[in-house]
């Protein structure tokens, strides 16, 4: 058996063991999702990509999924390079698992591993975070004041949550007064407090519904880009199903700054049908949460709406005027998704977009993931200011693109690998079914074309709950897929 086959066999055994599924069931799920062919030795992008024996200094900033995926692939293609990773987190958090903790199906221990499992001992690991970037001089400065130079850099800093941007709300309020937020976590310390609080919140909501009076529960989605854009609706449907199993219901309100349930019409239409299987769900579109009266349980939204203006004789239609107003909604329970942004160090550096809707986000080409002004800098993961791709599944697709293009640049060649915008959002519609929304810059992009991507399916639930986590630990984080 060759080395690659041995690696694939060992990886499958790890998947089988950690998923808890039988070998037969594991193979069935993997076969349907395309995993079996990969395990049997199909070459990965990293194995087929370029390499260089040049002695260069490569710095990776960030120790989450994107940073690790980039690091392991680059190490494979740059055997003589000197690698440094700047990451404060000793613990690696499997972030997609936080929704399953919130649903009572995982525990904290299920989603954490030591980051040392993924960072080789020959990598210079600086356990700190970057406080400032100086791309003109090819260096960064850490929070502790250490200057680190580089020839090439991969920025994988991730995304920052801003509960403080909601007037009247603090992080300390999460878990009190009917407030939850699955996102609340400390990535540096590897905590999942928000997910644990949300599972408690599920059960408090159920207890309130069982008391005889229907509670009002609000689920918010902010005006900024967010990590995993489907998460607000996942919490909505899972908590509604949690009540439905006991014959209970609530007055559910989905308040989003967006104008529809999903950007793709076929997925949005399917979600409309999903909502009909639960008690009353009211969609408040163009509603952005801006303030909360925590003691009195009142949420204030800024609603954007349009009114008719003057009639245009040439176009034979009315001009539409956009206006804003504040709307107060009383609630018993509220799940808050905070506004999000890149880290301050990126926003305040020359690396971020300088204007437009992407201002502050890492300014990379949406296809090559190379910085548009600093050719020796690449991005990966949530920090990038590109139209799609703020999911873990996207980061997996970013990894081989970044590795191939950075190595090409080291070799004096142009970056040729292209990221197609692949994004995946496993929309949990109840306990047992998922709509696997896969799309790219051009629209729907299902991995398995013969399956209707808008239909909720048990197979995707089984894949997400049982298989994806071990695949993440043993394959994705090791650059094997």
- Phi/psi at 196 (nearest 5 deg)? -65, -40
Q: What is the DSSP string of 408-436?
A: HHHTT----------EEEEEEEETTEEEE
Strand (E) or helix (H) holding 378: strand 377-379
Is 302 in contact with 290 (CB distance < 8 Å)?
yes
**Pairwise CA distance, residues 172 & 195, whole Å:** 14
Residue 54 and residue 52: Cα distance in Å, rounded?
A: 6
Residue 48 DSSP label: H
Provide the 10 A C-beta neighbour count for residue 17: 12
Strands in 298-312's sheet, in edge-to-edge order, are 287-293, 298-312, 317-330
- CA geometry: angle 64, 65, 68, nearest 5 deg: 80
> 289: which DSSP letter?
E
Name the DSSP class of 367. T
Of 78, 101, 126, 228, which is the active-site residue? Answer: 228
H-helix or E-strand containing 346? helix 344-347
Beta bridge partners of 317: 312
Residue pair 118/478 in contact by the 8 Å Cβ criterion: yes
Residues 6+ apart with CB under 8 A from 211: none
Task: Determine whether 228 is an active site residue.
Answer: yes
Nearest-angstrom CA–CA distance, 117 and 132: 28
Q: Rounded CA gap, 160 and 275, in Å?
A: 30
Q: Which of 271, 425, 434, 476 is catalytic?
A: 425
* Nearest-angstrom CA–CA distance, 133 and 137: 9
Its sign, for the CA torsion 38, 40, 42, 47, is positive
Active site residues: 228, 425
């Amino acid at each position: 058996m060759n080395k690659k086959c041995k690696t694939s066999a060992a990886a499958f055994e790890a998947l089988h063991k950690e998923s808890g599924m039988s070998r037969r069931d594991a193979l069935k799920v993997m076969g349907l999702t395309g995993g079996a062919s990969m395990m049997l030795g199909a070459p990965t992008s990293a194995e087929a990509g370029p390499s260089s024996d040049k002695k260069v200094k490569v710095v990776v900033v960030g120790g989450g999924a994107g940073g690790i995926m980039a690091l392991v692939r680059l190490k494979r293609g740059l055997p003589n390079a000197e690698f440094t990773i700047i990451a404060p987190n000793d613990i690696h958090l499997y972030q997609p698992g936080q929704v399953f903790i919130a649903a009572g199906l995982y525990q904290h221990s299920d989603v954490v591993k030591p980051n040392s499992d993924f960072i080789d001992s020959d990598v210079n690991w600086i356990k700190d975070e970057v406080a400032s970037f100086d791309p003109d001089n090819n260096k960064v400065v850490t929070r502790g004041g250490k200057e680190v130079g580089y020839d090439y850099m991969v920025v994988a800093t991730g995304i920052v949550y801003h509960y403080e941007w909601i007037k009247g709300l603090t992080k300390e309020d999460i878990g009190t007064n009917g407030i939850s937020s699955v996102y609340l976590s400390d990535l540096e310390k590897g905590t999942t407090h928000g997910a644990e609080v949300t599972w408690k919140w599920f059960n408090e909501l159920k207890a309130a519904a069982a008391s005889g009076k229907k509670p009002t529960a609000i689920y918010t989605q902010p005006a900024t880009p967010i990590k995993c854009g489907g998460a607000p609706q996942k919490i909505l449907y899972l908590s509604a199903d949690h009540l439905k199993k006991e014959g209970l219901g609530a007055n559910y309100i989905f308040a989003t700054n967006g104008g529809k349930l999903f950007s793709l019409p076929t997925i949005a239409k399917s979600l409309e049908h999903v909502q009909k299987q639960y008690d009353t769900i009211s969609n408040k579109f163009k509603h952005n949460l801006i303030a909360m009266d925590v003691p009195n349980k009142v949420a204030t939204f800024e609603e954007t709406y349009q009114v008719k203006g003057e009639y245009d004789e040439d176009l034979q239609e009315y001009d539409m005027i956009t206006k804003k107003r504040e709307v107060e909604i009383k609630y018993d329970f509220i799940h808050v998704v905070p506004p999000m942004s890149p880290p301050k160090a990126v926003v305040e550096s020359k690396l971020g977009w300088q204007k437009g809707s992407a201002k502050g986000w890492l300014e990379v080409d949406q296809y090559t993931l190379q910085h548009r002004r600093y050719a020796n800098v690449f991005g990966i993961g949530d920090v990038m200011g590109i139209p799609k791709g703020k999911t873990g599944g996207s980061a997996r697709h970013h990894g081989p693109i970044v590795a191939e293009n950075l190595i090409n640049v080291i070799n004096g060649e142009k970056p040729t690998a292209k990221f197609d915008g692949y994004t995946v959002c496993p929309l949990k519609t109840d306990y047992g079914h998922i709509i696997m929304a896969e799309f790219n810059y051009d629209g729907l992009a299902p991995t398995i074309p013969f399956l209707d991507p808008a239909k909720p399916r048990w197979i995707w639930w089984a894949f997400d709950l049982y298989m994806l986590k071990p695949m993440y630990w043993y394959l994705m984080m090791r650059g094997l897929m």
